[in-house]
Amino acid sequence: MARPMPLASLRTPEISMTSLTQSLPTILENYQEIASITGEMLNAAKAGDWDLAMVHGQQYCERVELLRQTEQKAPLDDAARAMKYDLLVRILENDAETRDLAIPQLARLGELLGRMKRQQTLLSAYGYQAPEE
């Protein structure tokens, strides 16, 4: 008759399970934070507050870089994978909508800069020098 296997040999290594359960919430928290930041960035863009949108854009880039450095390639269970997917979709939608709002503003800024350059060229052609401050 075969002897039963000792219970200790049936256990999965505690280190990997502990690190997985500790890192999983952190990973999802990072995605949640990024989704929140992109939502705030979108709200600022909708309000025309481009300075605030830029602040949130910088936070977004910093948080993505942090996530890139810390995210482990540990497999996620179905619930966590679904949550990560939903967060990624929200992040990408917020980002795309913000870009859609920013593109016309960037074009307008480009036109203004072009006009300024033409004015400076005309003024310098006629010998005008701006007064020193």
**Residue 10 banded pLDDT, cuts 50, 70, 90:** very low
**Residue 25 banded pLDDT, cuts 50, 70, 90:** low
Residue at 70 is within a domain: yes
Is it the case that residue 16 has pLDDT exceeding 60? no
Residue at 44 is within a domain: yes
**Residue 6 banded pLDDT, cuts 50, 70, 90:** very low
More confident residue, 133 or 53: 53
Residue at 10 is within a domain: no
Is it the case that residue 70 has pLDDT exceeding 50? yes
Residue at 100 is within a domain: yes
CATH of the domain at 92: 1.20.58.380
Residue at 87 is within a domain: yes
Residue at 104 is within a domain: yes
Count the domains in the chain: 1
Give Cα separations from 90 to 4, 23, 61 (angstroms).
51, 22, 16
Structural domain that includes position 87: 25-125
- CB distance 41 to 56 below 8 Å: yes
How many beta carbons lie within 10 A of that of residue 49, not counting itself? Answer: 13
Residue at 110 is within a domain: yes
**pLDDT recorded at residue 76:** 81
Q: What is the DSSP string of 49-92?
A: -HHHHHHHHHHHHHHHHHHHHH---PPPPHHHHHHHHHHHHHHH
Report how far residue 49's alpha carbon sits from residue 87's, in angstroms, rounded to the nearest whole number: 25
Residue at 130 is within a domain: no
**pLDDT recorded at residue 24:** 57
**Residue 23 banded pLDDT, cuts 50, 70, 90:** low
